Structure 1
Amino acid sequence: MDRTDPQTRTSAAALPVLLVVYGRGSATPRGVLTAARRVCTVVFLADLGDPRTAADLATLPKSATVVDTAGLTERQLCDRAVEFGASGVITFSDRLLRTAAAVAERCGVPFHDRATVEVLVDKFRQREALAAAGVQATVCRTVHSAADLGPALAATGLPAVLKPRSGAGSVDTCLVSSAGELADRYTEFTRDAATPAVFVLEEYLVSDPTVVGEFWGDYVSVESAIRDGEIRTIAVTGKLPLAHPFRETGYFTPALLPDGLAEEVVALEQSALRALGIREGVTHTEIKFTPDGPRLIEVNGRLGGHVSDVLKRSAGTDLLTLAVRLALREFAPPAPVLALGANCPAVAFQYFLSPPTDGLAPGDSELVEDLQAIPGVDLVDARIDPSWRADWRAGTEWLIGTVYGSAAGHAELRATVEGIHRRMDSFWS
């Protein structure tokens, strides 16, 4: 049920209307409202039949405009959306990129076109497009059934990575080192599905840990803003090492890279964005360091999760607000954040409180107080439930909380992270 009549809402506000096609992703509803304050009027288009989506939006003020899209066809949803006279459309959820593109097309506002969305949400088609453009060839095969496993493995070789053809957050993503392991993981991933998802098997990008050192993650992300095909780099975000099998454990800004590597990474990212036909919006592109140089992991056509917070605390750049303004055709990106300097005087980080492997149980409730005492830690947001157990299949978001902090430089950041590691080593049991 709609909370507010669109005509009343738009006439009462002297601000442009932004349609947010909402589902869980890289921004919360309250975060969006904060970013949009005095910038635009937000209308959330959301399937309230999804319990998690409904719970997220139930916390909003009663004055917020929420349109329930449950049960609507794409045409009905677009008909409803066009009533608001929107100036922009945005989504922070990979699975809703197609819906947002349809809404934007009907409303006549900029967004990824439908062809671009298809290569953003489909990992196989994205690999094909990048190879066809001469940006990067990565062996990748689709897996529709167990019968496809053998031919796919013959093409990729071992080790290889199995992942959903469309997905995010490392859900049901793993490294396989044998044909038997591949068959077991595929069976596990599809056993209870009424209609099994399509997977891809792709070659594993071998790491070169000497590029940034083994203490740090062997990959980075590049955040960019694009309008009418003009690409502007916002930042290069550093990572902490992955947990088994591909779960992210933390971000920091700015990244710590050898001289010249940030520029090389950005050049690769921009080639990929052009190859995929991206002309509008904010993007989040992951790139890995290998013996053959930087290689693309994937390009995402939305704001990266967690990135806006660390960038705002380190450099004062509010990437969420920038994304909102960009959707409304306001294009004034700040100077790029590639290293410590005048426009980025400190390092900010998030550390994810996630176990190193499955089957471990949380420890005592004194964790929050102990972590809070570590120099460089500003905030610990954690809920410790003794019955909680890790499940690596759930990916990056399967954690008990997040540590937020800052440091004067990367050496100080390392000391802080080492302190967190020591405490966490004794926490999981």
Structure 2
Amino acid sequence: MRPAHGPGGAARAGDLPVLAVLYGRGAATPLGLTDTARGRCAVVFLGDLGDPLVAADLAPVSRTTRVVDTRGLTEAQLCALVVGLAPDGVVTFSDSLLRATAVAAKACGLPFHEPDTADVLVDKFRQRRALASAGVQSTACRLIRSAGDLAPALAATGLPAVIKPRAGCSSTDTCRVDSAEELAARYAEFTDGVTRPRAYVLEEYLVGDPSAVGDFWGDYVSVESVTRDGDTRTVGVTGKLPLAFPFRETGLFVPAELPADLVEQVVRLERRALRALGVREGVTHTEIKFTPGGPRVIEVNGRIGGGISDILKRSSGVDLLAHAVDAALGAFDPPEPVLGLDGSGRRVAFQYLVSPPSDACVPGGDELLDDLYDIPGVDLVDVGITPGWRADWRAGTEWILGTVYGSAPGFAELRITLKAVQDRMASFWSEVEV
């Protein structure tokens, strides 16, 4: 067993394996990772400390955990740096670092997504093509590199359609368009003043079928899985609340309220999608929408979904982050899947995301948030109101003010709790001219 490394790079005695975490903003925090790693491994964080957000995230752990600055490094230099650490595992929870982590893991001979698989997981255009080529699902999708691509793309997708970055997350710069004029205006807005505009995709809009789960719940779910050496195990299926404009998430809960046959359908579709994309290692978060034609893949992500580890742990005790760490280190002990309430005392855990219903809204005062604690099932209100804050739909889910955490013994009680939260929050927002 290689010696682990402590702060500053000095080797220390001990038999804990070393886990190299390529850190960027994503689905796991440094504090959460160090807590999960305790007794499992010694973590080394590699992050771009020139990014003030990354630097702020890593500052609280830098005194006890080794942090390596990667600012200005090319992918090849970053890979060489990771190899030089001689880690026992390599992992990331950030989409933007998925490919670099895959390259580094391959160079180290460690389990993670293959580089080509990582490319497909973060490239929405290639992902759609791969799913279609494998016969999993054909979804009209066209690449947009310039304004000249708009008309032919729209001819292929029809209306309504969705424009989004070719590589991106959290619904940033993502919206529905209902006319050629609206598409042109949105593309101009996204690329105005940008020296090197990033590529976008235009894809057909997947029309939802609320009757699949009922009007109160969102018309989509996500499937969480762990894969080791091609063996995929379902960890859980996550329910969602309806989206806010244009595609901002407003809440999630585990387990989802689905009949057994629908659970079977979404899991089967997810497995087919993972095989089509070449997923053989790691944790995945696959979003699936219910449509009049049945479940359809929205997208497959090659990391834990935001908030998923928390609600799984509070609902059933399953620690998805720990399973992700273990899988990166070569271990594989998947839990029993969390697919429903099994009478063993499991609760439905939720996160309600404090997200504005529109950009014409501003938040109210803290006293309105304090009132949420009067609602049975609400355990924690973690919301910060910054003076001068204004909504920005282009930032997607990244622009939420905070999260309300809680749980309920069953779905009927969950519905009552969330309806009460929604009713209170309706008076939290007030409209202003934008």
- Residues 290-305 of structure 1: pairs in structure 2 closer than 5 A: 290-305=291-306
Deviations 1:232-252 (A, max 9, x none): 000000000000011100110
Alignment pair present for 1:404 and 2:405: yes
TM-score between both structures, scaled by the size of structure 2: 0.96
> Are the counterparts in 2 of residues 361 and 386 from structure 1 also a CA contact under 8 Å?
no
Deviations 1:129-152 (A, max 9, x none): 000000000000000011100000
Length, aligned pairs only? 426
- Kindly provide the amino acid, as one letter, of the partner of residue 281 in structure 1: G
Q: Residue in 2 aligned with 1:70?
A: 71
- Kindly provide the amino acid, as one letter, of the partner of residue 126 in structure 2: R
- Kindly provide the amino acid, as one letter, of the partner of residue 363 in structure 2: P
Secondary structure in 2 matching 1:59: helix
CA distance in 2, matches of 1:421, 1:306: 19
Greater mean deviation of Cα atoms: 132-141 or 254-263: 254-263
Q: Residue in 2 aligned with 1:4?
A: 7
Q: Residue in 1 aligned with 2:16?
A: 15
Q: Residue in 1 aligned with 2:57?
A: 56
Secondary structure in 2 matching 1:150: helix
> Are the counterparts in 2 of residues 3 and 67 from structure 1 also a CA contact under 8 Å?
no
Q: Residue in 2 aligned with 1:326?
A: 327
Q: Residue in 2 aligned with 1:356?
A: 357
> Are the counterparts in 2 of residues 353 and 403 from structure 1 also a CA contact under 8 Å?
yes
- The alpha-carbon deviation at position 387 of structure 1 amounts to 1.6
> Are the counterparts in 2 of residues 165 and 199 from structure 1 also a CA contact under 8 Å?
yes
CA distance in 1, matches of 2:343, 2:214: 25
Q: Residue in 1 aligned with 2:44?
A: 43
Q: Residue in 2 aligned with 1:264?
A: 265
Secondary structure in 2 matching 1:12: coil
- The alpha-carbon deviation at position 270 of structure 1 amounts to 0.2
- The alpha-carbon deviation at position 105 of structure 1 amounts to 1.5
CA distance in 1, matches of 2:407, 2:7: 41
Runs of 4+ in 1 over 3 A off after TM superposition: 2-6
CA distance in 2, matches of 1:343, 1:307: 21
> Are the counterparts in 1 of residues 288 and 298 from structure 2 also a CA contact under 8 Å?
yes
Deviations 1:312-336 (A, max 9, x none): 0001101011100111011001110
- Residues 20-419 of structure 1: pairs in structure 2 closer than 5 A: 20-342=21-343, 345-419=346-420
The answer for unaligned runs of 5 or more in structure 2 is none
CA distance in 1, matches of 2:122, 2:48: 20
- Kindly provide the amino acid, as one letter, of the partner of residue 221 in structure 1: S
CA distance in 2, matches of 1:46, 1:342: 43
The answer for unaligned runs of 5 or more in structure 1 is none
> Are the counterparts in 2 of residues 139 and 156 from structure 1 also a CA contact under 8 Å?
yes
CA distance in 2, matches of 1:4, 1:27: 21
Deviations 1:25-51 (A, max 9, x none): 000000010111100000011111111
- Kindly provide the amino acid, as one letter, of the partner of residue 141 in structure 2: C
Indicate the percent of aligned positions where both proteins have the same amino acid. 64
Kindly tell me: are residues 57 and 220 of structure 1, through their superposed partners in 2, closer, same or farther at Cα, counting changes over 3 Å? same
Secondary structure in 2 matching 1:187: helix
TM-score between both structures, scaled by the size of structure 1: 0.97
- The alpha-carbon deviation at position 85 of structure 1 amounts to 1.7
- The alpha-carbon deviation at position 259 of structure 1 amounts to 3.2
> Are the counterparts in 2 of residues 351 and 404 from structure 1 also a CA contact under 8 Å?
yes
> Are the counterparts in 1 of residues 7 and 62 from structure 2 also a CA contact under 8 Å?
no
Kindly tell me: are residues 344 and 334 of structure 1, through their superposed partners in 2, closer, same or farther at Cα, counting changes over 3 Å? farther
